[in-house]
């Protein structure tokens, strides 16, 4: 008797592997106080470990802007890099400690969240317990972002108060002008290599040289000393109207204002903020009379070409024959 042997077919069940969520994190600190409260490096490393240890997640990157204000996106290179990676389809989920770390300008925060929602990128703000996956949460985002913006303004006001207190004591703040260095007691002293350029620029302007001639003379001095500095016309113009070279310090020459959608914008102070003048704060490089003469030349655009001076004062001398400072 012949029997047919039936072989059982072994059917392997293949379970489709669930795709991992591509996760990232964003960190930002802008002040020394924030650095003390929460170490930037520790914050970055904590997110790395947490995402790597979650079997449902795969780490894309941890983005971090150190020492950057959150009032505008410009200058926050890591935030911009993260947004680009989202636009390129590399990220599904972003962790952020709080809304204030994501940004302090309400319009920018909400605009970024809306763009990420359109890209199907989810953002979780841990401090507030908010998740952009919840479509009902946008009102809360608006309220929280407004609070963050007010907090930023409060910090700015405190900084302004501190600067005002320093000025009342005769101690200016901010960068020291080209041609000077600041000592430990906050006094300014002349730095002769740069002061030589400043005096030369004013002397040549008073001798009716134009911007090109002055700039070329300053560039020759830089090349001679191997400083690597390059003079451009806008820098030269700023130097020639800088009142600090008369020995006085004037506060709040320019101010920062928050413009909707643009964040902080610096512009000339037209009386919106009070100013302090500290007379004889440091040794001058130019007399007030000569400064006012050069300032008028700049305002009337007389230094753009030599033609105006040739017409009014005779032939303009060659810049090479100008007396050195």
Choosing among 3.40.190, 3.90.1750, 3.30.1490, 3.30.70, the CATH entry for 180-247+282-321 is 3.90.1750
Model pLDDT for residues 97-124, shown as the tens digit of each residue: 988 888 877 778 888 988 999 999 999 9
Choosing among 3.40.50.1390, 2.60.40.10, 3.30.43.10, 1.10.10.10, the CATH entry for 21-151 is 3.40.50.1390
Model pLDDT for residues 27-67, shown as the tens digit of each residue: 988 765 554 445 788 889 999 999 999 999 999 999 998 87
pLDDT(217) > 80: yes
Domain boundaries of the chain, sorted by first residue = 21-151, 180-247+282-321
What average pLDDT does the chain have? 79
SS in 3 state form for the chain? CCCCCCCCCCCCCCCCCCCCEEEEEEEEECCHHHHHHCCHHHHHHHHHHHHHHCCCEEEEEEEEEECCCCCCCCCCHHHHHHHHHHHCCCCCEEEECCHHHHCCCHHHHHHHHHHHHHCCCEEEECCCCEECCCHHHHHHHHHHHHHHHHHHHHHHHHHHHHHHHHHHCCCCCCCCCCCEEECCCCCEEECHHHHHHHHHHHHHHHCCCCHHHHHHHHHHHHHHHCCCCCCCHHHHHHHHCCHHHHCCEECCCEEEEEECCCEEEEEECCCCCCCCEECCCCCCCCCHHHHHHHHHHHHCCCCCCCHHHHHHHCCCCCHHHCCCC
- Domains 21-151 and 180-247+282-321 fall in the same CATH topology: no
């Amino acid at each position: 008797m012949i029997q047919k042997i039936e072989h059982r077919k072994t059917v392997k069940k293949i379970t489709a592997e669930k795709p991992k969520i591509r996760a990232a994190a964003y960190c930002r600190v802008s002040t020394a106080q924030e650095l003390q409260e929460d170490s930037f490096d520790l914050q970055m490393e904590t997110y790395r470990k947490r995402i790597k240890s979650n079997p449902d997640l795969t780490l894309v990157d941890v983005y971090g802007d150190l020492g950057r204000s959150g009032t505008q996106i410009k200058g926050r290179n890591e935030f911009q890099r993260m947004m680009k990676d989202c636009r390129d389809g590399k990220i599904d989920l972003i962790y952020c400690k709080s809304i204030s770390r994501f940004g302090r300008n309400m319009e920018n925060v909400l605009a970024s969240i809306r763009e990420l929602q359109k890209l199907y990128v989810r953002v979780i703000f841990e401090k507030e317990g908010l998740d952009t996956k919840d479509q009902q949460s946008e009102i809360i985002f608006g309220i929280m972002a407004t609070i963050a913006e007010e907090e930023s303004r409060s910090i700015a006001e405190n900084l302004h108060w501190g600067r005002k207190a320093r000025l009342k004591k005769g101690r200016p703040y901010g960068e020291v002008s080209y041609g000077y260095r600041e000592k430990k007691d906050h006094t300014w002293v002349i730095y002769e290599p740069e002061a030589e350029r400043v005096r030369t620029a004013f002397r040549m302007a008073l001798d009716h040289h134009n911007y090109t001639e002055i700039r070329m003379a300053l560039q020759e001095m830089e090349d001679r000393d191997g400083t690597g500095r390059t003079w451009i016309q806008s820098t030269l113009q700023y130097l020639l109207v800088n009142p600090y070279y008369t020995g006085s310090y004037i506060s709040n020459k320019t101010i920062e204002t928050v413009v909707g959608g643009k964040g902080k914008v610096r512009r000339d102070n037209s009386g919106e903020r009070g100013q302090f003048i500290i007379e004889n704060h440091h040794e001058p490089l130019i007399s007030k009379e000569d400064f006012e003469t050069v300032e008028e030349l700049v305002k009337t655009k007389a230094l753009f070409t030599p033609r105006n001076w040739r017409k009014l004062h005779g032939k303009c001398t060659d810049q090479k024959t100008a007396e050195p400072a």
